[in-house]
Structure 1
Amino acid sequence: MATMNETPTQTTSGEPAACSYPVISVVDFSAKGDKPVVVWHVHTGPAAITGRFNGGWVIGDNRGLFELPADVPDDAGDFDDDDESGTSALGGEVDSEDAEKAIAAMEDTRSDADKLESLLRGTHVIVAGRKKKAPAWMDTAASISDLSTVLAAANEGVAAINAAITEEAQRRRQARAKEKEETGKMTTSELAVFAIEPIAAPTPATFADAFHGDPCAEQAWCTAMAVGALVDAWVEVESDRRRRKYLKERFGAHPRPIPLG
């Protein structure tokens, strides 16, 4: 997986491969093990084929796989009005294909721990709500302490971009002064210093009014929406950066994965 110091794997088209961008798993589980575990995947690529979100999975109460809650952002998934549909435990509609997946999930004979390990394997996990001791089924995933860790890392990336802007402006001022001294003409273009705004902290609570599903799934869904908002903000930062040649030369021509701390 690519990091902030590595070049993302390239496809034959020259664009970064989808696998270059980490998947963040948002997990909500009871420390006592007396409630089902809810999992959402948040894809961090700038143009994820699956959309920004996948889920949610409710493991431990025989509900299996269900699709998106009502009022999820538009890019998270679409439902076909012509499909037969019902309402999932998570509050969204389930079309015929989703229903088949749900049935298949309920018929899955693996243990809950094995199902969860499979869902989280190779992803980066944020545990929704208070910090809890990580169970064994999280061993094959990378752990992120909390959403604020990702926010801090992303804003360090923003600060690095802003520092590069200031450095480039200073370099051009010095070049122009030298040109004026030596030739009387200044051919280097000026650069007005500007700054990309730091990313604002998204909070899960701001999404609560949009949730209309099973209460057991609310915390994971709201946290996933907050993670998605943070990812979208980083994608916008990278879009702004890539519009400027000197920043492309400094940090790379392609969108970088969001730093995870």
Structure 2
Amino acid sequence: MIGGAFAADAPATVAVVADAGGEALAVWHVELAPAASGDRLSGAWLTGPGDGAAELARVLAGCAVLQVDAVVPDWAAPALADLPRMDPAATVAELRAVVGRIRDRAAAERARPGRGTLTAPRLPELPDPAPIDFPHVGEPAAAAALGWARGLEALAEAWAEVDSQRRRRDWLRGPRGTDPVPLPLVLH
């Protein structure tokens, strides 16, 4: 039921990377898997030049990156160079296409003989990719990264509800069956 332009082997964590002022970067991890223990926002770092390059490489290892700012400091560029980048707009467009296919499948199922009373899944609206602005009580330099991390968290939660609706209906399960599907990503 998923299909589309999603990366088949997308990482289970997105590292949101944003300017933290001067030469510093802020990084927030967002867990995409619905069965992840604990919060979806699983870690936050402020890094700078010097030892920060090695720390940044360690923090980004195994993650997809949502880079908030177009330009990063020279010291950080090598750590970011070869990592997969999440495309937020394309990801949401693909997710909305999945929701459309689920709605179409529900309509087709209801049209089958004897299935006219079938209850269609209640699917949430998928939010546009955007930072969520709220009062930040931690390090002010991390506010931009946290805002985008919260926006990605809201998208992951909406997707978890869509996937929950898919798993509850045998006619929607497809090859994944009842296994939860983490938020799929379009990467570039």
Q: TM-score range by the shorter chain?
A: 0.7 to 0.9
Q: Find the counterpart in structure 1 of residue 86 from structure 2.
A: 144
Moved over 6 A (4+): none
Unaligned runs of 5+ in 2: 4-8
2:125 is the counterpart of 1:198: yes
2:107 corresponds to which of 158, 162, 166: 166
What's the TM-score, normalizing by structure 2? Answer: 0.79
2:63 is the counterpart of 1:132: no
Determine helix, strand or coil for the equivalent of 1:126: strand
Structure 2 CA distance for aligned equivalents of residues 121 and 221 of structure 1: 19
2:160 is the counterpart of 1:218: no
2:133 is the counterpart of 1:207: yes
State the 1:159 CA deviation: 1.6
| 1:99-158 C-alpha deviation (Å, 9 max, x unpaired) | xxxxxxxxxxx8322211111122110012x4336822113421123x323322221221
Structure 1 CA distance for aligned equivalents of residues 38 and 82 of structure 2: 23
Q: Find the counterpart in structure 2 of residue 22 from structure 1.
A: 12
State whether residues 14 and 63 of structure 2, in contact with CA within 8 Å, keep that contact through their aligned partners in structure 1: yes
1:49 corresponds to which of 25, 29, 37: 37
State the 1:42 CA deviation: 0.4
Structure 1 CA distance for aligned equivalents of residues 184 and 98 of structure 2: 7
My pick for the range that moved more, 148-157 or 212-221, is: 148-157
Structure 2 CA distance for aligned equivalents of residues 222 and 199 of structure 1: 17
| 1:32-82 C-alpha deviation (Å, 9 max, x unpaired) | x83311111100111212421122101117xxxxxxxxxxxxxxxxxxxxx
Count the aligned residue pairs: 176
Structure 2 CA distance for aligned equivalents of residues 157 and 150 of structure 1: 11
| Residue type of the alignment partner of 2:162 | V
Identical columns (%)? 28
Structure whose residues are more often helix by fraction: 1
State the 1:257 CA deviation: 2.0
State whether residues 28 and 38 of structure 1, in contact with CA within 8 Å, keep that contact through their aligned partners in structure 2: yes
Of structures 1 and 2, the one with the larger relative CO (CA 8 A, separation 6+) is 2
Structure 1 CA distance for aligned equivalents of residues 174 and 18 of structure 2: 41
State whether residues 23 and 123 of structure 1, in contact with CA within 8 Å, keep that contact through their aligned partners in structure 2: yes
State the 1:160 CA deviation: 2.0
* Structure 1 residues 54-93: aligned runs within 5 Å: 54-60=42-48
1:121 corresponds to which of 48, 58, 61: 61
Structure 2 CA distance for aligned equivalents of residues 243 and 193 of structure 1: 12
| Residue type of the alignment partner of 1:253 | T
| Residue type of the alignment partner of 2:28 | W
**RMSD between aligned residues:** 2.8
Q: Find the counterpart in structure 1 of residue 25 from structure 2.
A: 37
State whether residues 25 and 40 of structure 1, in contact with CA within 8 Å, keep that contact through their aligned partners in structure 2: yes
Unaligned runs of 5+ in 1: 6-18, 62-109, 177-187
* Structure 1 residues 225-236: aligned runs within 5 Å: 225-236=150-161
Larger Rg: 1
State the 1:21 CA deviation: 6.2
